Structure formats: structure tokens, C-alpha cells
Amino acid sequence: MKIIKLLTLAVLLTAFAVSAQAKFIKPAHVYMLGFTASFKDSVVYVTEIQDVQGAWIDSKTKFLLDRDHYSYQLKEHMSEQYLEPDRVCVVFYATKKKQLEKQIRKLRKKYKELTPLPSEFRFSPVEREEQ
């Protein structure tokens, strides 16, 4: 009898855990801002705020999925176009443009001179299947 109760409990807990998984959502707009710096150079580059349609966000944690791919896109661009492969690349994101504008103000306070990256660089959405 104890075994049946334990098995039933295990099945219920498994079913609950599967149904409690976070869903991935694709909002209409995800705004991104790229930031790149190097320990070898004092020049800090920043991209313009870009509207990346097709980016995915975890509905539970509000975290940008495949964030590393977006920073890698920026790193590849810096390696190919500027011949600077050793740069640290960071991507900031938000669903509202005002939030990123606030982030730029913070960056400007910390780094006195931000060099804008030419608008030739564009983030491209990472393909992902809907779940």
C-alpha cells in the first residue's frame, strides 16, 4: 500500500513539475543595445538602440533567451570589421525603449566617452521553435 501511495505521489509531482515549466514568449518589440570594451584599449563602443523583432523572452524570469548569441554577433562584428577579437561584448535588452535610454545614461556616467558604432551593425533574431 505504501508503494502505491509513493508511486502516485511521484506521478503527481512529475506532472506538476512538467506543467509548471516557464513558457517562452515572443513580444512584439525587444529593444537591444550592444556595449563592447577591451582591457587592452580605452575605446568603448556602443551600438544604437535597435528594435529586434523575433527575439524570445522567458515568461517566468523575463530573461532574454539566447542572450549569448546576441553578444557573440557583436563580438564577430568587432572581430571582422575592426580586427579586435579580444573585446568583451555585452547586450542590454528591454521591452520598453525608455529603459534602455536610462541604461545609456548610466553607461555615459561610468564611461565618459562612448564611441557610437556605425549603424551598419544590426542584431539579427535567433531562430527558435515555439513551445
What phi and psi values does residue 74 have, to the nearest 5 degrees?
A: -65, -40
Position 47 scores a pLDDT of 93
Position 18 scores a pLDDT of 47
| Ordered mean pLDDT values, 10 residues apiece, the chain (131 residues) | 62 55 72 92 91 88 90 93 90 93 91 85 82 54
Contact 112, 42 (CB under 8 A): no
Position 8 scores a pLDDT of 61
Position 73 scores a pLDDT of 93
Position 62 scores a pLDDT of 86
The model carries a pTM of: 0.75
The β-bridge partners of 50 are 32
What phi and psi values does residue 71 have, to the nearest 5 degrees?
A: -70, -30
